[in-house]
Amino acid sequence: MNDKGGQLPVIFALVLSTIIIVSALLAYRMLIFPKKVEESDWRYVIFNADGDFPRMLSVSLANFTQEYRLTSNLTLSENKAKAKLEYWKLAFILGHGGLGLRLNITSASENVEIVSASSYKIGLVYDGDVVEKDVYIPSLLIAEGHFFNCSWNNAFGLSAAYASISLDAIKYGFYGWKNYYISFLAVNITAVESTSSETSINFTCFNDGGWVNYLNNESISIYINDLQGNLSDLEYWGAGRYVAYINQTLPSNYVLKLAIRDRRGIYVTALLNETAS
């Protein structure tokens, strides 16, 4: 009897541990996978669409920028990226089969301004001589009927996507839900300092989620007159601010291209065309 009595706490502890483990696994599953639609509630369909579509828009923008980087063909790049959105639409409808979903993904119905025209100053330092340069940033629009656009030939570089979705859940008699989404990646060169042995490039990077704080040496490429420089160091100063170092000095005339690829796979470049004094 004493042996059996002594086993009860052990058995209880094992059962309790099993319950805790199973509960943790179920909670983890709920975090990873979208919540299944309840029989009497259409709201989870909206929750799933609103949560997952921004991710797919970012995937499509990554596809667009990578294709455009290779081909310089906007039309071809956009058509390939749009296919990702159509795949998502089909998968979402099939994943919520039996609900009579009517889902539409729509491009810009009019010109959508992602960034307004503006200007800012870049600090340029050559062997201790300081020069300030005014940089004009043109506005970037996603034109009516399009999902994507980019501006890569300025000291402020931007890649962007815009789309809206509308959803009806016919089984529940729910109609007219609609929302729009913007995904982007931006980088701007703020200062360049060149000495006899190295060049440092100050820049900021941000996206639709805020400051980008996770860039590393693999995320960045720097080109001087189309020749890739050797990135020797990268410092992060907070609030999206970085300093990148290359082991070379700048020539008298140069085109500096800073290329960034974030962890979503979205690509953007900033370009500085300068004559050193």
pLDDT tens digits along 71-111: 999 999 999 999 999 999 999 888 887 778 899 999 988 89
Handedness of CA 68, 74, 76, 78 (dihedral sign): positive
The strand pairing partners of 54, in sequence order, are none
Residue 10, pLDDT score: 41
How confident is the model over 152-179, as pLDDT tens digits?
999 999 999 999 999 988 887 888 899 9
First to last CA, the chain: 95
Between CA 204 and CA 61 the distance in angstroms is 20
Q: How far from chain centre, in Å, is Cα 210?
A: 10
Q: Domains in the chain and their CATH numbers? A: 39-277 (2.60.40.10)
How confident is the model over 44-68, as pLDDT tens digits?
888 889 999 999 999 999 999 999 9
Of 188, 192, 189, which Cα lies nearest the Cα of 123? Answer: 192
Beta strand ranges found along the chain (DSSP E): 101-106, 112-115, 118-126, 129-137, 140-142, 148-151, 156-169, 174-194, 199-207, 210-211, 220-224, 227-228, 231-238, 241-246, 253-261, 267-275
Kindly report the pTM of this predicted structure: 0.82
Non-local (6+) Cβ contacts of 268 within 8 A are 65, 150, 152, 157, 158, 159, 185, 186, 187, 259, 260
Find the mean pLDDT for residues 206-210: 94
Q: Are strands 118-126 and 174-194 parallel, antiparallel or unpaired?
A: parallel
Of 108, 79, 246, which Cα lies nearest the Cα of 181? Answer: 108
User: What token pair was written down for 144?
Assistant: 């009516």
Find the mean pLDDT for residues 111-130: 88
Residue 190, pLDDT score: 95
